[in-house]
Amino acid sequence: MMRDTLTVKEFLTIDDFDLDGKTVLMRVDLNSPMDPEGNILDDLRLKSHIPTITELSSSKLVIVAHQSRPGKDDFTTMKPHSLKLSDFLDRRVTYIDDIFGTYARTTISNMKKGDIVLLENVRFYSEETLERSASAHSKSHMVTKLAPLLDVYLNDAFAVSHRSHLSLMGFTEVLPSGAGRLMEKEILALDKGIKGSGHPNIFVLGGAKVDDSLKVAESVLKAGNVDRVLLTGIVGMVMLAADDVDIGKVNMEFIETQGYIDQIEKAKELLKNFNGQIAYPTDVALNDNEKRIEVDVDELKEQNLPIHDIGLETIVSFSREIEKANTVVLNGPAGVSEVEEFALGTQEIIKAATKAKYSIAGGGHIAAEVRNYGYQDLFSHLSTGGGACIDYLAGEKLPGIEAIKKSASSK
């Protein structure tokens, strides 16, 4: 596993504890799409935690996780998740339909070395999702009832660590705490993307979340470790408008309906401050009744058709830069990649990234497309976090990670 001693010192990992025979509470993210009958449709999240769970085979492992949120059709119990985990591990994962009541506490007290239990959906407990400090969470009933039965707390749930939730923070105040292997891998890999491991270090930002992409671009360019930011998707469209390109009424109206018209001024500011370090499309693919039409950006006004992908010239120029990169980070698709006619930009950029020395795909849509095209084994790292990944890349402090760092510093 990749190691960065400066980063590892900020938080403890499995390596820093003697966990043989110890009772370990581990927060994971098993939140998965489910059908109306309660069957898990995508088990990727569950599989991502298997290495950490396997490494804790000599502990008494108590797992806590959530599924969906109140009001959603798939807000249900963790029983299906326990069955899936049991299949993957070829070991029994006992589902407990309780969180910190007598049944849960008695079960934990009677656990033997090697036992694994999965507690009930932690979001069934209303205090879980209260946005509070770690200190406030540590005084909750859940922490005060369970902590005396536990030896160590591990956070392996990177994808939800941008939340200030109880199960991510409360136990770090009262128990020796650290990161599971998935969390450790995420932090070290994303740090390598932000800091770079040699030049050129390139970020390729696309997708629909313009404000997030511009926030990431500003953060990494200000830090000075990233050489170039290549913009695609809707954020690329906004940057064209910021550079006074007439992108056509239909595209300006789309930006406005998405609530991003104010981001044009932000984009102008970035262009002013980082001239030469930001690139955006020189040609695009328009949707003309589901037909792909390639045009230069200066032809957009007269066409007045929706932009659905980057054009061939942009694909070629961006791909050349990406292939030569020492480190490349992708976040967000280049266009409407779910439609075959407009998937070319996304596919070619992903393919180019596999040729870089070190490649990272952010969570969410772009990671899904990497897997869709079968390139997952050619990437150095695929993040499991969507919002958490964006926040981390933008230099924001994630509450769940800050909590384990604070715990390490107080030891």
The answer to the question of whether 362 is labelled as a binding residue is no
The answer to the question of whether 273 is labelled as a binding residue is no
- Cα–Cα distance measured from residue 249 to residue 381, given in angstroms and rounded to the nearest whole number: 39
**Beta carbons within 10 angstroms of residue 320's beta carbon:** 10
Structure tokens at 76: 């249900």
- Cα–Cα distance measured from residue 197 to residue 235, given in angstroms and rounded to the nearest whole number: 26
The answer to the question of whether 385 is labelled as a binding residue is no
Say whether the peptide bond before residue 200 is cis (omega within 30 degrees of 0). yes
- Cα–Cα distance measured from residue 215 to residue 66, given in angstroms and rounded to the nearest whole number: 29
Q: Where are the beta strands (DSSP E) in 188-238?
A: 201-205, 228-231
The answer to the question of whether 365 is labelled as a binding residue is yes
The answer to the question of whether 30 is labelled as a binding residue is yes
The answer to the question of whether 251 is labelled as a binding residue is no
The answer to the question of whether 41 is labelled as a binding residue is no
Residue listed under structure tokens 């939140």: 31
The string of DSSP codes covering 107-142 is HHHT--TT-EEE---GGGSGGGG----HHHHTTSHH
Q: Which of 387, 398, 367 is nearest to 42 (CA)?
A: 367
The answer to the question of whether 132 is labelled as a binding residue is no
CA distances from 286 to 71, 160, 238, 298, 301 (A): 38, 36, 16, 13, 12
Q: What's 398's DSSP letter?
A: P
The answer to the question of whether 292 is labelled as a binding residue is no
The answer to the question of whether 66 is labelled as a binding residue is yes
Q: Which of 78, 56, 54 is nearest to 68 (CA)?
A: 78
- Cα–Cα distance measured from residue 324 to residue 308, given in angstroms and rounded to the nearest whole number: 26
Half-sphere exposure of 36 (CA within 13 A, CB side): 0
Query: For residue 193, which phi and psi values (nearest 5 degrees)?
Result: -65, -45
- Cα–Cα distance measured from residue 152 to residue 128, given in angstroms and rounded to the nearest whole number: 19
The answer to the question of whether 123 is labelled as a binding residue is yes
The answer to the question of whether 82 is labelled as a binding residue is no
The answer to the question of whether 177 is labelled as a binding residue is no
The answer to the question of whether 163 is labelled as a binding residue is yes
The letter for the amino acid at 405 is K
The CA-based angle 319-324-325, given to 5 degrees, is: 100
The answer to the question of whether 224 is labelled as a binding residue is no
Show binding-site residues for ATP. Answer: 338, 363-366
Binding-site annotation: residue ranges: 29-31, 45, 66-69, 123, 163, 338, 363-366
Residue ranges of the annotated binding site for substrate are 29-31, 45, 66-69, 123, 163
Q: Which residues are annotated as a binding site for (2R)-3-phosphoglycerate?
A: 45, 123, 163
